[in-house]
Structure 1
Amino acid sequence: MGGLIEKLNQLDVLERQKVILKSKKISDFYIDIKKAYGFPEILNEITDRLYALIPKEANCIAASDYGGLPLATAISSKYGLNLTLIRNKKKNHGLNKLIDGYIPNPKDKIAIVDDVMTTGTSLKKIIKIIKPTKAKILGCYVVVNRGKADLKYPLHWLFEAKDFFEK
């Protein structure tokens, strides 16, 4: 995996500055995997490596937000998995739905993807929205694991935050 981490480090995905994370915690660094999405070769490599972690029985991929949706779309398009788009909250206009794209059913086996997992807030929200569909959630698959979370589903990752500090 050394090659990919080097490419990500060349893009300066590790930002060493004080930031407020989605979890409202303050951190002295931020890992911005979204920078890699602008480079097709790197996005494809992330896509392939993340897909390699997902059980082959998966027929659906789900994500939300700017970090997860590009990954899920790339995996869906390249590997033929149905794509489920999760909204964080209902809109005040239109059809007022939380799930767009493919609507999972009890026969589906879903993999949830995201760019970075810190406390699991985003993944838990996706799980909560998918559960009523009765689809089987196989696990959560992220590019970077920078924290701990009790997700009640397996969590798999390509890198840990510490990998970006080792040069």
Structure 2
Amino acid sequence: MEKSQLAKEIYIASHLTGEFKLRSGKTSNEYFDKYLFESNPKLLQEIAEHLSKLIPIGTEVLAGLEKGGIPIATALSLKTGIPVVFVRKKAKEYGTCKLAEGIDIKDKVVCIVEDVVTTGGQIKLSAEDLKEYGAKVKDVLCVIDRQQSGSENLSNEGLLLLLHSLLTMTELKQSV
């Protein structure tokens, strides 16, 4: 499937209108319900196909952020053979007490995987956490960049993270 057709399919499957409060606290009159495209096996497979081409060379581990980044990272891992870890918003307080479930990330080049990026707030927090566990984090992959300062926030806050997006909000809107 061509990227333009994928954008159209994602838009049709997941674009909602109304009044929505975003994680950032901002209010939006439109929302992309990521679970509507992440739960569709055909779309998820196509997303992995296209997004896999954006994985930075040298990536050793894909880090899927709870909750929406996990299916995307899993699909990418299946497509590329790159191991995946599942990153919690905070380390669990029982059992292994891990923040990142899966293989060891210490001294590994880790690429964060997220579904939709607005301001990058959770990515920033998770990147700082992963670095505390010894990961080398400098890149982020996402399916949709809402183009609301996420990329700028990640590069300006001392993290020096580079955001690679499959689609921007502009591309999604132009697809229909």
> Is the shorter-chain TM-score for this pair beyond 0.5, marking a shared fold?
yes
**TM-fit CA distance, 1:92:** 4.0
Please name the residue that 2:82 is paired with. 81
TM-score under structure 1 normalisation? Answer: 0.91
SS in structure 2 of the partner of residue 24 of structure 1: coil
Amino acid at match of 1:163: E
* Post-superposition CA distance 1:9-63 (Å, at most 9, x none): 231x111111111111111111123211222221111011111111231110002
SS in 2 for 1:53: coil
Distance 1:128 1:105 in 2: 13
Does residue 1:2 correspond to 2:7, yes or no? no
Could you tell me how far apart the structure 2 residues matched to 1:71 and 1:120 are? 17
Map of 1:142 onto structure 2: 142
Query: AA paired with 1:67?
Result: G
Residues in 2 aligned to 1:30 and 1:64: alpha-carbon distance in whole angstroms: 19
Say which SS state the counterpart of residue 18 (structure 1) adopts. Answer: strand
Contact in 1 for aligned 2:73/2:84 (Cα 8 Å) = yes
Partner of 1:123: 123
Q: Counterparts of 1:1-167 in structure 2 under 5 Å?
A: 1-11=3-13, 13-106=14-107, 108-146=108-146, 147-149=148-150, 150-151=153-154, 152-166=160-174, 167=176
- Amino acid paired to 2:142: V
Return the alpha-carbon distance in structure 2 between the equivalents of residues 59 and 84 of structure 1: 11
For the Cα contact (< 8 Å) 2:11–2:173, is it kept in 1? no
**Structure-2-length-normalised TM-score:** 0.86
Tell me, which stretches of 5 or more residues in structure 1 are unaligned? none
Corresponding letter in the other structure for 1:125 = L
- The residue type equivalent to 2:70 in the other structure is L
Tell me, yes or no, if the aligned pair for 1:46 and 1:143 is still in contact at 8 Å. Answer: yes
The 1:109–1:92 alpha-carbon spacing in structure 2 relative to 1, beyond 3 Å, is closer
The separation in 2 between residues aligned to 1:115 and 1:88, in whole angstroms, is 15
May I ask how many residue pairs the two structures share in their alignment? 165
